[in-house]
Copies of this chain bind each other. A is one copy, B any other.
Amino acid sequence: MNDLFLREARGEATERRPVWMMRQAGRYLAEYRAVRAKVDFLTLCRTPELVAEVSLQPVRLVGVDAAIFFADILLPLDAMGAGLRFVKGDGPSFEHPVRRREEIGNLRTPDVGASLGYVFEAVAAVRREIADLPEPVPLIGFGGTPWTLAAYLVEGGGSQGFPRLLEWSYRDPEGLSRLLDLITEVSIEYLEGQIEAGAQAIQLFDTWAGLLDLERWRRFSMPGVVRIFEALAGRPGKGGRGVPLIFFAKGAGHLLEALRDLPCQVLSVDWRQPLSEVRKIVGPGKVLQGNLDPAALLGPIPEIERLTARLLEEGAGGSHIVNLGHGIFKTTPPDHARAFVAAVQRLSARPA
């Protein structure tokens, strides 16, 4: 088994650095598009065999060192009764957005095992399929942070500036915190379910952390993240050891001093912060993950190799899981993704 990812995430010695890519199971692969041509997005998420197929594609076709199962971070909100829809070209939308304290009661506390059981079946299906690979890799589970999930739920979908969410945060911060608490509770059960089903690491995505300054991030986003990580830290995975916990925030350069204190092993860094500078701020207690500009994969392969070599230098001061600094663009040529992954695997060998 290729367990480089898990060992690097735990800060253990490895022969070379592991590499995977955010959104690696996705539309840049013709093989993914072929699956999506047959089923819509939510049907794909709800069909374990198809989730297994697309989650394994980047392992088989691109050669990454870890799989992440295919899903959407908004699925738990659907289970809470918000009515998730995906309209082609428009992204996600909710039939029942929640915009004020009085509307929180419209949500239900779901039986997670029943309403999100299809996710756990998918996780198990991915693990089974991975076991049949010539060289199995670890499987990453994931979710959105309560703040980021609330952003979509309050707005009713994606948004430029999330004005309704922000309005609520200033008008009735206690009310919004109640919503965040409720999402936190469901998220804990949801992520525990993923671990029980076989996820070997958990990454939380705080895509909209950057809406908040440091003080407001500590107030609105951090408490849920800490509660989730503390709950998960106590749960051994199927292998008997605690699963590594990873935190990713976009546009979080101004939040680093708070991220240092998160109870997780790995910080995933967006493409705008040089890893060497992040390490200076967060110290040796965190493994870093990242952070090639995903747009670099749109450029020529020799340039990708040059930038990858430079990234490896940037990350050389400690444990480092190589990744992009954000999700891969859907216009990325698969050859370019392969060149990135191969360059990491070739250039990061550590002397024995």
Contacts and interface: CB of A to CB of B under 8 A. Distances in A.
Interface of A: 161, 163, 166-167, 169-171, 210, 212-214, 216, 251, 253-254, 271-274, 293, 295-296, 298-300, 303, 326, 329, 331
Given A163-B329, A271-B213, A296 B254 contact: no
Contacts of A274: 213-214
Contacts of A212: 272
A214 B272 CA distance: 7
Contact of A331 (B163, B214, B271, B296): B163
A299 B213 contact: no
A273 B293 contact: no
Number of identical monomers bound together in the oligomeric complex = 2
A170 B253 contact: no
A293 B213 CA distance: 9
A170 B339 CA distance: 15
A272 B166 contact: no
A308 to B, nearest CB: 13
A331 B254 contact: no
Given A213-B271, A272-B210, A329-B161, A169 B300 contact: no
Contacts of A163: 295, 298, 329, 331
A251 B210 CA distance: 9
B213 A170 contact: no
A220 to B, nearest CB: 12
A254 B274 CA distance: 10
19 contacts: A161-B295, A161-B326, A163-B295, A163-B331, A166-B293, A166-B295, A167-B295, A170-B296, A170-B299, A170-B300, A171-B299, A171-B300, A212-B272, A213-B274, A213-B293, A214-B272, A216-B293, A253-B254, A254-B272
A86 to B, nearest CB: 16
